[in-house]
Amino acid sequence: MVEGLDAEEYEALVTGAETYRAALVVRLGGEAGLRTGEITCVTPGHLRETEGDADLSLLAVPSDDTEGETKAGDDPETEGAPRDHSGIDRETAIPASLAAELRRYAESADLRESEPFVDVSPRRVQMIVSETAEHAAARTDGLVDPDVTPRDLRRTFARRLLVDRGVDPHAVREAGGWETMATLDGYLGALDGDAIAEAIAGDRAGSSDGPAAESAPTTLGGFEALADGDDRKTPLATVPGGVVEADRWAEAWVARGMGDRDRVEIAGAAGADRETLVDRGATADGPCRDAVEAGEPVATEGSPATAGRPAIAVPVRYRDVTHGALCVVAGGEPPVSPVSPAERREIAALGRCLGWAVTAGRWRDLLHSDAVTEVEFHTGDEGAFLSRASAALGCRIDLASTVAVDDDASRFYLSVEGARPQALADAVAGASGVSDLRVIETREDGCDVSVRVEGGSAVRALTEHGATVRDATAEDGRVRVVADLPEGADVRPVADGFRATFADARLASKESVARPARSEDSLRDGVAERFTDRQWAALSAAYHGGYFDWPRGSTAEEVADAMDVSSPTFHNHLRKAQRRLLDELFEDGRRARRLDQG
């Protein structure tokens, strides 16, 4: 029996990833052959282009010196084998699509050349793979084994190269870092006489329509269009043109506004003009709407919207926010082959990258805008735990800050007037996604606490649409949230997204507000630009957690635990953030003195 996941199972596993980072973790194991500990070590500086094949990039794999941790759970034949634990262990070839995703992620997360793509513990990597497998198993009715491990991804890497593509086992051994050829035996199925003769004759390697040809990336132009950017056009408009640069695809378009049939529009198209697509029903029923409603890729052998050709539509989304759908139609002369699992995976990844780019663009516009659209929402939905707690206790709760602690969780720092910590804990007990209440300070008439919140929240429903929350207050069972959007932004999809989380939510006000030339918020944003997301999260969590108070409201270990990171990791990010903050202070001072003296 051939070990590892087959192409359909692996595609379903990657598609089942609920976050961008989870997808990268799976792909680094399944397409780069990295061990658990190695996944936590690779950085942007380890990526480089090949000299020949544009469809591949090279990823240097650092030696792991975590006392054999990376061997645990790996192949029994390699455990205990002597290895060099200094410098670079090996290089492995990865698909250009994976390299493009890694670079895009590094840019969006503001990673330096030496900062790891996946800055978590090896244990957390194992948990991410396990969580992704369980989610994929539930979505595919058991197609994916819910017990998939990082070791299974290594097996998939070997299977993909040895069985599906017929790569030289020597190259596979070197790419995966296996010590001997014997360790690869379990990844290969038995060959009968005909298969052996075919391999020796070289027919398999020379076939133009075999697995190797099928696995070649065909959407690289879409990723390049996304990475190169164009300040005059949105990513939704530029990506379709990049996709159809490959002969494989005849048409590509992005439809948005799928929540309202009267407001659906083609945001970008290539290979066919907007009028033709509308006439064919691309903005009505079809693959795009199916993909948005299903929340996952939808392939079709042909529909009126795709002129009867095979196609695939994928959601354009970031976390819980869907911006629309990307549809790609196969090209070539009939008969046209259907979309392969590898192509399906690539286009799904492009949809996720496009969703992130749209959201990031809104955040950028908000940061640099001279004016903002201020919106105020109200909700009394019991699903909003702040509403539930303020109604039960008759208290007022103000949100001081939120800090992201994981891809799907945040820590809320709350100031409470009129309730004690135990009463608050009792009031939110059983609230969906709310856990780990921690007391920071107790006052005679209230307290300061923090809670871990997973999934949907009033704040997250807005921030994931590119809004900045300015104020959030709960009193007498009603939650009031004030947020800023870029000037001229369409508020309707933001309101629709908010109501999707809280059914009774209403837009109480909307107005254009000019920003002061040097407000406190703009000063803070200017300083915050110097930090990475993780450094800002560590600094915010430490400040709001009372770490800088005297006496301290929380120890460093308690703040690290609340952020779900190790104490050394927290200290590392906090020290870097403090250094950058002090650099801003003292460098500004030196600049001012030089100007005075000049």
pLDDT, greater one: 398 or 534: 398
Residue 597: pLDDT above 60?
no
pLDDT, greater one: 360 or 363: 360
Residue 210: pLDDT above 50?
no
Longest dimension (CA), the chain: 87
Residue 49: pLDDT above 90?
no
Residue 401 tokens, joined: 């800050």
Task: Supply the pLDDT for residue 561.
Answer: 85
Q: What's phi and psi for 427, nearest 5 deg?
A: -70, -35
Task: Supply the pLDDT for residue 250.
Answer: 92
Alpha-carbon separation of residue 398 from 265, 471, 479 (angstroms): 39, 8, 10
Residue 368: pLDDT above 70?
no
Residues 6+ apart with CB under 8 A from 318: 20, 352, 355, 356, 358, 359, 464
Q: What is the pLDDT of residues 84-132, one digit of tens each?
A: 334 787 889 998 889 988 988 888 788 889 999 999 889 999 999 999 9
Task: Supply the pLDDT for residue 493.
Answer: 75
Domain boundaries, the chain: 7-214, 220-366, 371-514, 516-598
Q: What is the pLDDT of residues 264-293, one digit of tens each?
A: 788 889 999 888 888 888 877 778 888 888
> For the chain, how many residues are written?
598
Quick one: DSSP state of residue 184?
Answer: G
pLDDT, greater one: 197 or 19: 19
Q: What is the pLDDT of residues 220-267, one digit of tens each?
A: 788 888 777 655 567 888 899 999 988 889 999 998 876 555 567 888
Window from 213-217, 315-319, 542-546, 577-581 with minimum mean pLDDT:
213-217
Task: Supply the pLDDT for residue 478.
Answer: 92
Task: Supply the pLDDT for residue 45.
Answer: 92
Q: What is the pLDDT of residues 441-468, one digit of tens each?
A: 898 889 999 998 886 677 777 776 667 7
Tell me what the pLDDT averaged over the chain comes to: 79
CATH of domain 516-598: 1.10.10.10
CATH of domain 220-366: 3.30.450.40
Q: Kindly give the residue spans of alpha helices, DSSP state H, lying in 369-490.
A: 385-393, 421-428, 458-463
Residues 6+ apart with CB under 8 A from 80: 68, 71
Window from 158-162, 167-171, 209-213, 348-352 with minimum mean pLDDT:
209-213
Domain 7-214 has CATH 1.10.443.10: yes
pLDDT, greater one: 179 or 526: 179
Q: What is the pLDDT of residues 122-146, one digit of tens each?
A: 999 999 999 999 988 888 887 888 8
Residues 6+ apart with CB under 8 A from 173: 180, 181, 183, 184
Residue 29: pLDDT above 90?
yes
Q: What is the pLDDT of residues 334-362, one digit of tens each?
A: 888 888 888 888 888 888 888 888 877 77
Classify 544 as helix, strand or coil.
Answer: helix
Alpha-carbon span 533 to 234, nearest angstrom: 24
